[in-house]
Structure 1
């Protein structure tokens, strides 16, 4: 019996305890963000993308006074908080701001007190993720977040909260295509059909 079991052990299925199996690793989400401030307003644009390429898009208006660099930090913090609310555990952020990316990664020093406060808050929030990283990208790769940022910072002051989007499928200078209506021809059956429908005699 012992020899038989030794020979057939390799062919027997292995039964695993599911509780001992490692939990699947959380998937990585991506955050593209931009923020800006000017005399006309301040805001941020965020695009949070799931591992399955589902986009969560946000245009945020800041109703408080900030500098341009502070607006970029506020944009990142807003994106991180939204990611937290969605249950994200691994987050890769992208910014076209060299200052923000390098200060967070420890390559640039933050001498300004407000920048130091923002950095401390970012690092505190980053600790709540299993994995958090940020990279600088060229502005050309961050166009969508930049457009949302400008929409929030500059446009919302002049618009109502609802923005209607309509698709237009042809140029205004293209001629209208009209279909000529064709009148029904009167035949010997016309009176009979009218009698059957309305009961009126010819």
Structure 2
């Protein structure tokens, strides 16, 4: 066996130190966010999609007053925190807020003190990633995050934290199909 390996060995140099091995490529994750604020409350919808299409979905309720723009920033920051805690290094964020995307990218100025504070927080948190980008997308491209944010913004005082979603495949008006009837004695 040793002779075979010696004869068939390639000309690849031996690596004595494992730290000399090239680092595996960092894989890009996508983050879709949407914030919603109304007189009933405020919420966030977040969807993190991994490089192998694994999906992490979050609906967050904000128990404090915010404007719509503040809800958009709060949602983005929450998503960035989650991504950082998951150890994600490359993150592409998608938001449907023109204001948020353009302030972060430097196209729009943040004139309001609140927006300046949020902008500074995003830039500070973006340093935790080796690659962070943000893009504005249309609302139609962000439907899932939009629905989650609106759901989270509603008041559900009568519900527990867990909501089970069951799928129903036939209409109530359709007769049940019986395959075989069995009688018991």
* Cα distance per residue 1:120-163 (max 9 Å; x no partner): 01000001110000000010010000011011001534532221
Q: TM-score, normalised by structure 1?
A: 0.80
Superposed, 1:1-202 pairs within 5 Å as: 13-17=11-15, 18-178=18-178, 179-181=180-182
Give the number of the structure whose alpha-carbon radius of gyration is greater.
Answer: 1
Q: Secondary structure at the match of 1:156?
A: coil
**Aligned residue in 2 for 1:187:** none
Q: TM-score, normalised by structure 2?
A: 0.88
Unpaired runs of 5+ residues, structure 2, are: 1-8
Distance 1:183 1:91 in 2: 61
Unpaired runs of 5+ residues, structure 1, are: 1-10, 185-202
**Aligned residue in 1 for 2:5:** none
Per-residue deviation, 1:20: 2.2
Q: Secondary structure at the match of 1:146?
A: helix
Distance 2:176 2:36 in 1: 44
Distance 1:164 1:130 in 2: 37
Distance 1:180 1:50 in 2: 48
Contact 2:40 2:155 in 1 (8 A): no
Per-residue deviation, 1:83: 0.3
RMSD: 1.9
